A and B are shown apart, each in its own frame.
Chain A
């Protein structure tokens, strides 16, 4: 029982990271109808930026802010270099371009830092607290706390602010939004910046738990994508629930079934959902209009 509780805590912690990246996926998908296959690399690049800044001897909080600022910049470059020139083409060229971008980012980092995984210290000095039978790792606590805050922020931002409403309008009907005087291209730019920062945040938070490596991006992206399908493609709440569920499933799978195949569970769950419930937990099937 104690083990179950411990695994549940770890699962939710790691699931929260998937949820954050999945949220970035969903936001870009809703704004552009394109899945950004480089979303995971945002996390990886942010983690490396963090490593660099911390090694330079900067305080943790400053490194953190600078890494996020770097991600915002990367979001701008990504939009201008990859998405924007292809915005009038069909989805296939765009996703191929994002795959290209993902490979470019991952291997540029590899070329600069080499293949050795880096280590990033956690935010807190105290490694964690013992609460009854469960050991609460401070970094996992931080991850969960940040995710909760971000989910609330996200809700407030999209439902209560004018900018959030404009973003929603853009994602639902670009033509109509532009007729109402909303600058669609700046809305898309904001979406990319926001998603890059979200992805970056997830990367920085998870870095002390995992190693900072080139592969972390694609691994996280794969899980996050599975999370969006489990939750219901394009659904914000679905992405979060799906992410948490996947983290828990994976942690239990690794503990009770097999460690080397830990990364395979996401795929199995994904395929099961695709076959039996492709619209996910929250999704609704919509037919294309003739």
Chain B
């Protein structure tokens, strides 16, 4: 089995040959110019303060673009994390005379820990919990800032905050912050196309499918949340040094709302949007200073803007601009696969790839699956059939880890996977598709399949990096006949084609066993024939398949072995033709006389 190695003629990925950092030289040149400008131009104090505020706020808003934009999780405590960073630098440098750098690092670590803890305790639950818990956390942090007077000076705030020796003057400190902004902006921008970034987007689009293709959903969410918190902390540390004074009211829930509004207004999905939103919401209030004379009016307008943006401009200004300019921008280059897809299912155990013993799943008193045994032979196509409500899909869901088995044991290629979460089963070699298609809908076909190919332990990409990943995904898409449309968004594909993309996503992972959940459902007769051909080509490469379907023609032609369920129990099992003639099976499907 040959993983693509670096000495093959690289045509598809010529672009990736140079390190990304070199390819993005215009960004760094631009950033260097900005830093130079902020270091040399003379600003009056007022402009300087606005720039300082915009720079540090933008870094905090980048944090939101990670957690909310990439990962789809809400964080209403960004001002609290911002405050933790700011107080760490403030208290550390002014009361304890510690080094600025030490305090900045300490603030980042504190906010990272707080974010990770908060996320870890809540992210297993739905997003509502996260929203409310982050609000609660925000209020607790404010309470602590006001009430632990021995540490925080209470409502008086912390004065005389220090700066590093290197950046003592306001001007040089601003330049340093702009430099940090450019650096963080670059990292956040590139994050989207890294393994973690893809995992975050997968979780945002479809949490369930993300787990099944091998993404550790919980860890990804906690990472996104912690990352957002640490960016908040960093921004706060920079802010404290810039203004030399911090007080609790700068880090209240209202500020968290301001951060959220900035993020939503600019466009939550991209750091450019964050920068636009931050800039606008710092400048506009300065132009409309007269509004500040009425307390509350200001935030009332923010609240109204949030409602209006969500309703009329859900992707923010940058999303809107992006959409409007799509057709003028260069299309991503269409790559072609260099080889045909090769499936090389791992063989560790013996002759039986999947062994299910005494499997049961009860929902309260309902025995959806009860004492079911299945043995799937290596290299075979095995069908699981049964009338509606017989427990087929429940069985599949227990196999892939979406439901916990009530009893029984599942062995995949000799490994006991009974208690593993979905992503670990995928790592162990399980691949599956869904009856109701679950693709990552905001991404292209290629990206969907790439996430599949990224399965931990996929020997076909090994250490080949992004180029190997893209190549593998292109091979899989070409295999199902959609290679030429790789760069299109999922939403532009027909139902039948989406099904094929789901199969490609599973194949790219090079699984040991492929579970197909009613792949023919909703397909027309031509598409069914194509599907049948595809299954033959997959089976020809030696991949073991467990298929559920209602289409008896498909099942009887494709499968050598059939297991029949009825009312959650196995009523027949054996070679296809024999099973289909079994009197119990006939009765189950047609009823008895």
Find out whether the CB atom of A267 lies under 8 angstroms from the CB atom of B137: yes
* Contact for A100 among B131, B137, B305, CB less than 8 A: B305
Find out whether the CB atom of A114 lies under 8 angstroms from the CB atom of B295: yes
* Contact for B124 among A95, A99, A110, A278, CB less than 8 A: A278
Give the residues in chain A near B531, CB-CB below 8 Å.
none
Find out whether the CB atom of A92 lies under 8 angstroms from the CB atom of B257: no
Measured between alpha carbons, how far is A4 from B305 in the docked complex, in Å?
48
* Contact for A96 among B139, B143, B208, B310, CB less than 8 A: B310
Q: Is the interface of B mostly helix, strand, loop or mixed?
A: helix
Measured between alpha carbons, how far is A108 from B302 in the docked complex, in Å?
11
Could you list 5 A-B pairs, sorted by A, with CB under 8 Å?
Answer: A81-B307, A92-B74, A92-B127, A108-B296, A290-B402
Measured between alpha carbons, how far is A106 from B294 in the docked complex, in Å?
14
Give the residues in chain A near B132, CB-CB below 8 Å.
35, 37, 222, 225-226, 229, 270
* Contact for A290 among B121, B129, B139, B397, CB less than 8 A: B397
A180 part of interface (Cβ distance < 8 Å): no
Interface segment out of the listed A122-130, A153-161, A241-249, A258-266: A258-266
* Contact for B74 among A96, A111, A274, A290, CB less than 8 A: A96
State whether A263 and B305 are in contact (beta carbons under 8 Å apart), knowing that A85-B311, A107-B296, A271-B121 are contacts in the complex.
no
Measured between alpha carbons, how far is A108 from B260 in the docked complex, in Å?
19
Instruction: Kindly identify, within residues 128 to 142 of chain A, every residue whose CB is under 8 Å from any CB belonging to chain B.
Output: none
Q: How far is the CB of A40 from chain B (nearest CB, A)?
A: 10
Give the residues in chain A near B384, CB-CB below 8 Å.
none
Find out whether the CB atom of A100 lies under 8 angstroms from the CB atom of B140: no
Find out whether the CB atom of B139 lies under 8 angstroms from the CB atom of A274: no
B303 part of interface (Cβ distance < 8 Å): yes
Find out whether the CB atom of B393 lies under 8 angstroms from the CB atom of A290: yes
Mark B residues whose CB is within 8 Å of A. Answer: 72, 74, 76, 121-122, 124-129, 131-133, 135-137, 139-140, 143, 146-147, 208, 253-254, 257, 260, 264, 294-300, 302-307, 310-311, 314, 393, 396-397, 400, 402-403, 434-435, 438, 517
Find out whether the CB atom of B310 lies under 8 angstroms from the CB atom of A97: yes
Q: How far is the CB of A281 from chain B (nearest CB, A)?
A: 16
Find out whether the CB atom of A260 lies under 8 angstroms from the CB atom of B143: yes
- B137 closest partner in A (C-beta): A267
Q: Which 3 A-B pairs have the closest CB atoms?
A: A110-B296, A100-B306, A104-B303
State whether A278 and B127 are in contact (beta carbons under 8 Å apart), knowing that A97-B307, A271-B133 are contacts in the complex.
no
Find out whether the CB atom of A290 lies under 8 angstroms from the CB atom of B314: no
Find out whether the CB atom of A270 lies under 8 angstroms from the CB atom of B136: yes
Measured between alpha carbons, how far is A233 from B129 in the docked complex, in Å?
10
Give the residues in chain A near B299, CB-CB below 8 Å.
103, 106-107, 110
State whether A274 and B133 are in contact (beta carbons under 8 Å apart), knowing that A92-B127, A95-B74 are contacts in the complex.
yes
A179 part of interface (Cβ distance < 8 Å): no
- B404 closest partner in A (C-beta): A287
Find out whether the CB atom of B128 lies under 8 angstroms from the CB atom of A110: no
A2 part of interface (Cβ distance < 8 Å): no
A91 part of interface (Cβ distance < 8 Å): yes
From B127, B396, B434, name the one whose CB has the most chain A CB atoms within 10 angstroms.
B127
* Contact for A95 among B127, B302, B304, B403, CB less than 8 A: B127
Number of contacting residues on A, CB 8 A?
A: 49
A66 part of interface (Cβ distance < 8 Å): no
Q: How far is the CB of A110 from chain B (nearest CB, A)?
A: 3
Chain A 220-256 per-residue mask, 1 if CB under 8 angstroms from chain B, else 0: 0010011001000100000000000000000000000
Give the residues in chain B near A81, CB-CB below 8 Å.
307
State whether A103 and B306 are in contact (beta carbons under 8 Å apart), knowing that A86-B311, A109-B296, A278-B125 are contacts in the complex.
yes
Q: How far is the CB of B215 from chain A (nearest CB, A)?
A: 16
Q: How far is the CB of A42 from chain B (nearest CB, A)?
A: 15
Measured between alpha carbons, how far is A267 from B129 in the docked complex, in Å?
12
Give the residues in chain A near B517, CB-CB below 8 Å.
290
Give the residues in chain B near A92, CB-CB below 8 Å.
72, 74, 127
Q: How far is the CB of B391 from chain A (nearest CB, A)?
A: 13
- B117 closest partner in A (C-beta): A271
A82 part of interface (Cβ distance < 8 Å): yes
Give the residues in chain B near A96, CB-CB below 8 Å.
74, 260, 264, 306, 310
Give the residues in chain B near A267, CB-CB below 8 Å.
136-137, 139-140
Measured between alpha carbons, how far is A52 from B272 in the docked complex, in Å?
46
Find out whether the CB atom of B397 lies under 8 angstroms from the CB atom of A274: no
Q: How far is the CB of A112 from chain B (nearest CB, A)?
A: 8
| Besides A100-B303, A233-B128, A290-B402, 4 other A-B contacts (C-beta < 8 A) | A96-B264, A106-B299, A114-B295, A267-B136
Find out whether the CB atom of B303 lies under 8 angstroms from the CB atom of A105: yes
Find out whether the CB atom of B295 lies under 8 angstroms from the CB atom of A108: no
Measured between alpha carbons, how far is A102 from B132 in the docked complex, in Å?
13
Q: How far is the CB of B307 from chain A (nearest CB, A)?
A: 4
State whether A99 and B125 are in contact (beta carbons under 8 Å apart), knowing that A35-B132, A288-B208, A290-B402 are contacts in the complex.
no
- A29 closest partner in B (C-beta): B128
A115 part of interface (Cβ distance < 8 Å): yes
Find out whether the CB atom of B139 lies under 8 angstroms from the CB atom of A263: yes
* Contact for A261 among B147, B297, B393, CB less than 8 A: B147
Measured between alpha carbons, how far is A219 from B426 in the docked complex, in Å?
44
Find out whether the CB atom of B298 lies under 8 angstroms from the CB atom of A107: yes
Find out whether the CB atom of A290 lies under 8 angstroms from the CB atom of B257: no
Give the residues in chain A near B403, CB-CB below 8 Å.
287
